[in-house]
A and B are shown apart, each in its own frame.
Chain A
Amino acid sequence: MTDVLERPVDAHVPDDHGHDEHHGPTGILKWLTTTDHKVIGLSYTVTAVIMLVIGGLFAEIIRGQLTTPNGSLVSLAQYNELFTMHGSVMIYLFAGPFAFGALANFVVPIQIGAPDMAYPRLNALSYWLYLTGSITMLSGFFTAGGAANFGWVGYAPLSNSLNTPGSGADLWIGGLLLTGFSAIFTGVNLSATIFYLRAPGMTMFRMPIFTWNLLVTAILILLAFPVLTAGLIMLYCDRHFGTHIFSVAGGGVPVLWQHIFWFWGHPEVYILALPFFGMVTEIIPVFSKKPVFGYKGMIFATISIAALSLGVWAHHMFTTGVVLLPFFSIMSLLIAVPTGIKIFNWIGTMWRGEIWFSTAMLMSIGFVVTFLIGGLTGIYLASPPLDFFTHDTYFVVAHFHSVVMALVLGGMAGLYYWGPKITGYLLNETIGKFQFWLLFLGTQVFTFPQYLLGLQGMPRRMAVYPHDPQWQNLNIWSSIGAAMIGISTLLFVINIMVSWKKYPAGDNPWDAHTLEWFTTSPPPHHNFYRLPQIRSERPTWDYNHPEHLAIAHGEHATEPEKVTSA
């Protein structure tokens, strides 16, 4: 069966009662053969959330082990596997695919008025590579030697065949190759879609910030992921084909692995973060009943974060002693500027707005606060003298967990915000608010003791630690925080079950701004029956509120006489 993608026009109205006129296979065959970006996006979402739960379970076991100095919940070898796979699952299999594969896949084409992604079959291939990559990586647990156990960064020479024999490490490499290609294809697809499939009138500077951020993310993926793939192939050759790229014995350079890994690894941080920045930038204006403050500033900040992120990789390698400290320190500190612009603009958007504290909005505010904590501690780490003191301690662990837990908050905000568009049904707000407070407070209870532990010198990746009542106390607090985060995730699953097909959402439950809220929930096959004229960056709002005229850039609104509340 062939689908002809057509751009909708006003004249094209839905048949009888607006139902999907597409008749394709159903059930498992639909899942296997679909090329619809909405179904693929949903598959990505479900798979990524399952990965979040798996990675979360590893985290809970790790935190359980650390509640006592000589914990015996797992053996030392198992602990190594657990922290390696916790990091790998969370970064490679949850955060990345969730950021650019899940909600992005669903939302970006609809936000720009496109009927599908530019390459629908390549999109499906991306998902299958992601799924098989995840299975490959996790199947390491079923091998005789266990899963990979050299940390999620796989540093040479620890990751060579002498120090880490066994197929768990090879499965880790293989899984990363597959998910890496999946990411590259998604990057190609997203940038082609955004460059070529926009609706008439949707100029680049009218695209929603979420779409802008995904475009920049896609370009970053294309810059960064091929480097990782090349590095992994070199690592595999070192392990099995007798090359000596990363081993001193044969004239290789172990630190080259760190260069290659972090040249991917630091842009990866922004590949993860930018989509969540975008989600929050969509949500905050909607629930503040205002346009986003500093639209072009936001785009400028996104592009500069991406550009700078290519020049900061070696701040992960300050203690190797062979990197150019001033260059990487300056570049890393510079990233604080565009990030600061973003935080300022989020606050500026809320300023004097009519704020509706829905779950999505609470999660977004939680994101801003938590990300600010993670970002500020990152500025300390960008300074070499401070980094020498805290490198590989729990301070670093706490820093990046503040950052990634902020992303989890942002992701939850996205699910509460776009979930109704995907399924047609709202989630329960009361449970959602409980989930928010547990997640938000749990995150702080989880990270703050780790900052203190790091400053007191507790190294990361240790299954046992010296008998010190203070260290144990702090670790117990951190574990309590981890348990709170775990319960909050459970609440999310309960919320889905409780509100299953219970609260119909309608097309636009939030009175939102962008094109995805113009179509039905869930959207029909090829997304739109009709499109509004696009005259600003919030076409749906303009259509629903003709009394608020869109103001061209450069002109200023006259101040209303009195701010009325609805």
Chain B
Amino acid sequence: MKVEAKLLLGLGLFFGAMCAVYWTWSLENAGGVMMFAAMLLGFLPGSYYWWWSRRMKARPEDDANATQSEGAGVVGSFPGTSIWPFMLGMGAFFVVLALVFGIWFLVPGLALALWAMLGGTAEGRRGGKV
């Protein structure tokens, strides 16, 4: 977990430094803001990982001498097949087509998307052991 944290924090630090140099030198706002946001995307997940990495013991995948049996067991439980991603995709498709066909196309689009979200959530709940 520490390497993951360091990777993101390192990127955040680099973007922060780059942002500071760029913004003070150019006084151009669009790029400065975007670089600042990039820095946050390094720091937010990075510090979360760092916080956790200090509070948990190394996972088998962080341990260079781990054996395969240490990682045995259930990782998670997911629907083996699911129609809902397709339905949600179609919903998003219709929503985007509303950009061209007019606002009324949002009705089937959002309806499909909402239906797919509810269906997918219910499917996940039925999922059994995790």
* B-binding residues in A (CB < 8 A): 1-11, 22, 24-25, 30, 32-35, 115-116, 120-125, 127-129, 131-133, 135-136, 167, 170-171, 173-175, 177-178, 181, 195, 197-206, 219, 222-223, 227, 236, 256, 259-260, 263, 303, 306-307, 310-311, 313-314, 322-324, 327, 331, 530-535
Please, which residues of chain A bring their CB within 8 A of the CB of B77?
2-5
Please, which residues of chain A bring their CB within 8 A of the CB of B128?
2, 4
In contact, A128 and B79 (Cβ under 8 angstroms): no
Closest Cβ of chain B to A209, distance in Å, is: 15
Known: A6-B73, A171-B100, A327-B21. A124 touches B61 (CB 8 A): no
CA distance A323 to B65 in the complex (A): 52
Closest Cβ of chain B to A492, distance in Å, is: 29
Across the A-B interface, give the 10 residue pairs with the lowest CB-CB distance, nearest first.
Answer: A128-B89, A200-B60, A124-B85, A3-B80, A200-B71, A200-B66, A132-B93, A198-B61, A324-B26, A174-B96
Closest Cβ of chain B to A547, distance in Å, is: 22
Q: From A22, A34, A200, give the contact of B61 (CB < 8 A).
A: A200
Chain B positions 40 through 74: 1 when the CB is less than 8 Å from some CB of chain A, otherwise 0: 01000000010000000000111111111111111
CA distance A324 to B10 in the complex (A): 25
In contact, B67 and A22 (Cβ under 8 angstroms): no
CA distance A128 to B34 in the complex (A): 29
Please, which residues of chain A bring their CB within 8 A of the CB of B60?
199-201
Q: From B69, B80, B96, give the contact of A9 (CB < 8 A).
A: B69
In contact, A33 and B22 (Cβ under 8 angstroms): no
Known: A2-B126, A4-B128, A327-B26. A197 touches B75 (CB 8 A): yes
Closest Cβ of chain A to B12, distance in Å, is: 10
Closest Cβ of chain A to B87, distance in Å, is: 9
Task: Assess whether B84 is interfacial by the CB under 8 Å rule.
Answer: yes
CA distance A307 to B42 in the complex (A): 11
CA distance A141 to B129 in the complex (A): 49
Closest Cβ of chain B to A302, distance in Å, is: 11
In contact, A314 and B34 (Cβ under 8 angstroms): no
Please, which residues of chain B bring their CB within 8 A of the CB of A132?
89-90, 92-93, 96
In contact, A35 and B85 (Cβ under 8 angstroms): yes
A202, closest chain B residue (CB): B61
Chain B interface category by residue count: 35 or more
Chain B positions 14 through 40: 1 when the CB is less than 8 Å from some CB of chain A, otherwise 0: 110010011001101011001100100
In contact, A10 and B69 (Cβ under 8 angstroms): yes
In contact, A167 and B100 (Cβ under 8 angstroms): yes
25 CB contacts below 8 A, A to B, read: A2-B78, A2-B126, A6-B73, A25-B81, A121-B84, A122-B85, A125-B89, A127-B89, A128-B88, A129-B89, A132-B90, A135-B93, A136-B97, A174-B99, A178-B92, A200-B63, A200-B71, A201-B67, A203-B62, A259-B28, A259-B31, A310-B38, A322-B28, A324-B25, A324-B28
Please, which residues of chain A bring their CB within 8 A of the CB of B127?
2
CA distance A135 to B96 in the complex (A): 12
Closest Cβ of chain A to B119, distance in Å, is: 11
Count contacts between A and B, CB distance < 8 Å.
204
Task: Assess whether B11 is interfacial by the CB under 8 Å rule.
Answer: yes
In contact, B92 and A219 (Cβ under 8 angstroms): no
Interface of chain B: mostly helix, strand, loop or mixed: helix
Q: From B49, B61, B78, B100, give the contact of A201 (CB < 8 A).
A: B61
Q: From A3, A30, A133, A199, give the contact of B71 (CB < 8 A).
A: A199
In contact, B81 and A1 (Cβ under 8 angstroms): yes
CA distance A397 to B48 in the complex (A): 43
CA distance A332 to B7 in the complex (A): 22
Please, which residues of chain B bring their CB within 8 A of the CB of A174?
96-97, 99-100
CA distance A534 to B84 in the complex (A): 37
In contact, A136 and B62 (Cβ under 8 angstroms): no
Please, which residues of chain B bring their CB within 8 A of the CB of A222?
41
Please, which residues of chain A bring their CB within 8 A of the CB of B129?
4
Please, which residues of chain A bring their CB within 8 A of the CB of B62?
203-204
In contact, A327 and B22 (Cβ under 8 angstroms): yes
CA distance A171 to B99 in the complex (A): 8
Interface centre among B14, B30, B49, B62 (most CB of A within 10 A): B30
Q: From B61, B83, B96, B99, give the contact of A203 (CB < 8 A).
A: B61
In contact, A32 and B25 (Cβ under 8 angstroms): no
CA distance A115 to B73 in the complex (A): 12
Please, which residues of chain A bring their CB within 8 A of the CB of B66?
200-201, 534
CA distance A331 to B26 in the complex (A): 14
Please, which residues of chain B bring their CB within 8 A of the CB of A123?
85
In contact, B25 and A7 (Cβ under 8 angstroms): no
